[in-house]
Amino acid sequence: MKTSRALLLFIAALAPILALAQPKAASISMKEKAEVLFQMEKVITKDAFVPGVDFDRWPEMIKKHRKALDAAETQVEFTGLVNGALREFGFSHIVLYSPQSAQQRTNRRMVGLGVRIQLEPNGIRVTGLFPGGPASLAGIQPGDLIVAADGKPVKSPADVQGEEDSKVKVTVLRDGKEQDFEIVRKAFSTDIPETLEWVNPKTAIVTIPTFDLGYQQKRVNDLMAEAMKADNIILDLRGNGGGLVLNLMHLASFFFAQDDPLGTFVSKARVVEYEKATKRKGDSVQAVAAWVKDDLKLRPFSRSDQFKGSVAVLINGGTGSASEILAAALKEGKNSPLIGAQSAGAVLASYMRPVSNGFMLQYPVTDYVTKKGYRIEGNGLKPNLSAPPARFGEEDRAVAVALQTFDRG
């Protein structure tokens, strides 16, 4: 399938919370809503594909939500309602993006506080700051616990959301004492750079936050050149929701040779070929994949050698799509243990296409099966060794478990 307006992607449906943001409430007319839904129907019923799914039922599905959709007055409200209907399909990678959300993804900028967070019973813990973001400029520090916003208790990200240029007074708990800070919500860059850290002379941690547009191949080349000197690599894919296939293959080339198969894509065309050749219909996606044979290889990238040491992969519920494919490939092909918590199980390959009035539709076009015949979509990857989530200021238990596996060698 080729189109100048679409990119083949792996983007997980479950993304980590990177920022606390809310786009401005742009209005939407009945005519605009009708055009978006009309164009969506054409794409979904003609081009979307997941084995065993009947996309022709989409018009009937949307009828159930017609009254609420007609009443929606803003792009954000309309988009949320449409995505609620799309979730009824029960799988990943079928999402409508509002014009502002689509632009934010392309520009890699958001509006909000500019913090990375983890939810806790008494508030929101700040685990990191986006450089130059509003929270950083206001004096917020990693480790602060946001307990109130404008005098009201904070229990979820929604409690601190707001429009661009709006102000919020947050109360944080720091070193056992409450402090107030005024933050003006502004646009900030969502790029998080890849990093390398040496935990001991033999072991390097390589953290890859995304395979999407923020992935920097040159930076990864430099980091991996250093990491290749290690005996052991801990590859941290926690919170990596996926991204471009090309970026997945780029990183995989440091661990696999050019012709090493990583798994199999199962598209509509492959299913048709299978049914025609075997005279069978309705077989499992694993059966089709076994007939197709392995076809995801690293042909765009060629390296003289790959890392020969031990690799452990850190995963969690935010690990999705392209990062799940790489984690599974390392587990099956290199006996690399997966450490942490079960991954997202969101691995359908998809296209992103404009539909109307600045709205973008992401829709699935292929399923994926690992080299050993495991279907990740809807199932996720179970860790070989469990580890609790990393907490700010505490030992990262997943890293500690990985070091123990290397010691046992």
Please determine whether the domains at 112-189 and 195-350+363-403 fall in the same fold group of CATH.
no
Give the per-residue pLDDT at 234: 98
Residue pair 61/85 in contact by the 8 Å Cβ criterion: yes
Give the per-residue pLDDT at 13: 38
Residues 6+ apart with CB under 8 A from 2: none
Give the per-residue pLDDT at 7: 41
Give the per-residue pLDDT at 206: 98
Write down the residue that tokens 């598209």 correspond to: 267
Cβ neighbours of 385 (radius 10 Å): 15
Label residue 366 exposed, middle or buried (CB < 10 Å: 0-12, 13-18, 19+).
buried
- What is the per-residue DSSP string for 137-176? HHT--TT-EEEEETTEE--SGGGG---TT-EEEEEEEETT
**Strand, coil or helix: what is 355?**
strand
The residues with which 356 forms a beta bridge, in sequence order, are 359
Domain 195-350+363-403: CATH architecture, name and number where available: Alpha-Beta Complex (3.90)
Residues 6+ apart with CB under 8 A from 144: 125, 126, 172, 173, 174
CATH topology of domain 112-189: Pdz3 Domain (2.30.42)
Give the per-residue pLDDT at 298: 66
- What is the per-residue DSSP string for 297-349? --TT---S----SEEEEEE-TT--THHHHHHHHHHHHH-PPEEES-------E
Please list the rounded mean pLDDT of every run of 10 residues in the chain (409 residues).
40 42 74 97 96 94 95 91 92 89 77 82 84 91 91 85 88 94 90 93 96 93 98 94 90 92 91 94 93 74 91 92 96 97 91 92 94 94 92 86 91
Give the per-residue pLDDT at 127: 73
Residue pair 213/241 in contact by the 8 Å Cβ criterion: no
Kindly report the pTM of this predicted structure: 0.84
What does the domain layout of the chain look like in residue ranges?
Answer: 7-107, 112-189, 195-350+363-403
Residue pair 51/285 in contact by the 8 Å Cβ criterion: yes
Report the amino acid identity of residue 89.
F
